[in-house]
Homo-oligomer: A and B are copies of this chain.
Amino acid sequence: MNATQLKTLIARLAAGEIEATEAEQQLLRALRARPFEDLGFARVDHHRSVRQGFPEVVLGLGKTPEQIAAIAAEIVSRGSTLLITRATDAAFDAVRGVAPGATYYADARIIALPQADIAPGNGVLLVIAAGTADLPVAEEAARTAQLMGNDVSRLYDVGVAGLHRLLVEQGRLDTARVIIVVAGMEGALPSVVSGLVSVPVIAVPTSVGYGASFGGIAALLGMLNSCASGVAVVNIDNGFGAANIASLINHL
């Protein structure tokens, strides 16, 4: 029983739509249920939706398609929203067998099957990307945020080498309640954006670059040392993580 299901049950009880004994039975079953399901190689955390407002998300990286499909089946069987990141074609083939309605967003490397258990966010969540090569990460963030119930807006290829491309968009910056900024190479964009707004900025360094970018270290360090306050950082290429905390903020 996830948070939405609990809410519905109580509402119906209060509205007299169901009997007290029926409600009692359902709640007892839920309390008796294990808070996770042990598949041997994985313990699917069914409690997470109650605890954190969104069901357990599956990180596809390092799992076999068979493992991913088994976890997906377990999640779907509980009526929870399915969200798999770092997915591949092979994973999608396996997941389709157990969750026929699932969609694969290849540009975001995401497999998803939304349910009615997601609460809407409060404002616009803006995703900004510095360059075209940052799009896979930006899309992971944007798509995740949408699946988590947020109204998402995108602003791509506005790197600091051509500032006017960003400055003309001050209007869109001002409408956002929380902003994710995705950038590789020197990772300067979050500092600049943060100086232009008064809302929290979640910075995502990407591994875009070569040579002394060292797989995203340059961008990561740039963001951690931002002279602009109001910026916090997630792992290199972690579009999902950025969307997650941004969504928590947008649901406050």
Contacts and interface: CB of A to CB of B under 8 A. Distances in A.
A221 B224 contact: no
A67 interface: yes
Contacts of A185: 225-227
A235 interface: yes
Interface in A133-173: 133, 135, 156-165
Interface string A206-219: 01111111111111
Contacts of A77: none
Q: How large is the interface on A (under 10, 10 to 19, 20 to 34, 35 or more residues)?
A: 35 or more
B162 A63 contact: no
A132 B225 contact: no
Interface of A: 35-36, 38, 40-43, 45, 47-48, 51-53, 56-57, 59, 61-63, 67, 71, 86, 122, 130-133, 135, 156-165, 177-178, 185-188, 191-192, 194-202, 205, 207-238, 240-242, 244-245, 248-249, 252
A248 B192 contact: no
5 contacts: A47-B164, A52-B197, A186-B188, A211-B220, A212-B221
A-B pairs with lowest CB-CB distance, top 6: A62-B133, A211-B236, A188-B188, A232-B232, A218-B221, A161-B228
Contacts of A191: 160-161, 186, 188
A52 B198 contact: yes
Contacts of A194: 161
Contacts of A211: 205, 207, 215-216, 220, 224-225, 235-238
Given A160-B191, A228-B161, A221 B186 contact: yes
B230 A224 contact: no
Contacts of A192: 160, 163, 188, 192
Contacts of A201: 245
Given A156-B43, A222-B186, A236-B211, A63 B241 contact: no
B188 A36 contact: no
A232 B234 contact: yes
Given A43-B156, A71-B132, A213-B221, 7 more contacts: A57-B229, A62-B131, A177-B252, A185-B226, A214-B221, A229-B244, A232-B241
B249 A53 contact: no
Given A42-B132, A232-B234, A241-B231, A248 B200 contact: yes
